[in-house]
Amino acid sequence: MQVRQISSCTSPAVWMLPRLTSRRTLLWELYMCDRHDALAAQLTGAHNPVRRGRQPVNREVRCGTLHDHQPIEGALALHGRTWLVLQTLAGTWLEQLTEAAQWQADIDGPDAAALAEIVRVAAAGPDDPAVQVRVLDLLARAETAAVERRWVAQYGQLP
């Protein structure tokens, strides 16, 4: 499981929304406060807030925390819905990641260096589960850095 922070909100979560497959396998759990229930729509691709199936949170967890239980292909697609610009969903996960890194490099994007390093790690063994865990960890760190950059751009400093 990967733990990711997909929002800069520092409020405690009051809701948890699980996402399950048709076979009831857990894909991810999103924790959110009342103000940010639109995060669920962003992850699911819905146009309106997703409230069906959400459950009250009975432990201390920050809004925007995502527990991602997916294999790397699904996790990368989820990164594509939250912060990473995936040019295509065709090809292998490594090809998709490489194209995203190249696009960031072409536009001199703020995530270019991090994505280049992630691609370098991934290329060393895309079928190796240990490499995939490392790639997911690096993607989660890059995502957190992107969230923090957005926060600083909007509010001037981190909370």
Q: Which two tokens stand for residue 138?
A: 């690096």
End-to-end CA distance of the chain: 26
Task: Report pLDDT for 159.
Answer: 57
Task: Report pLDDT for 54.
Answer: 84
Task: Report pLDDT for 47.
Answer: 57
DSSP code string of the chain: -EEEE-----SBP-EEEEEE-TT--EEEEEEE-GGGTHHHHHHHT-SS---TT-EE--S--BTTEEEE-S-HHHHHHHHHHHT---S-S-S-HHHHHHHHHHHHHHTT-TTHHHHHHHHHHHHT-TT-HHHHHHHHHHHHHHHHHHHHHHHHHHHSS--
Task: Report pLDDT for 48.
Answer: 59
Task: Report pLDDT for 105.
Answer: 95
Task: Report pLDDT for 134.
Answer: 92
Please give the model's pTM, rounded to 2 decimal places.
0.75
Q: What is the pLDDT along the chain (159 residues), one digit of tens a residue?
A: 888 888 878 899 999 988 888 888 898 899 999 888 777 776 666 655 666 778 999 999 999 898 989 889 988 888 887 778 877 778 899 999 999 999 999 999 999 999 999 999 999 999 999 999 899 989 988 888 887 787 778 777 765
Q: How far is 150 from 129, CA to CA, in rounded Å?
A: 32
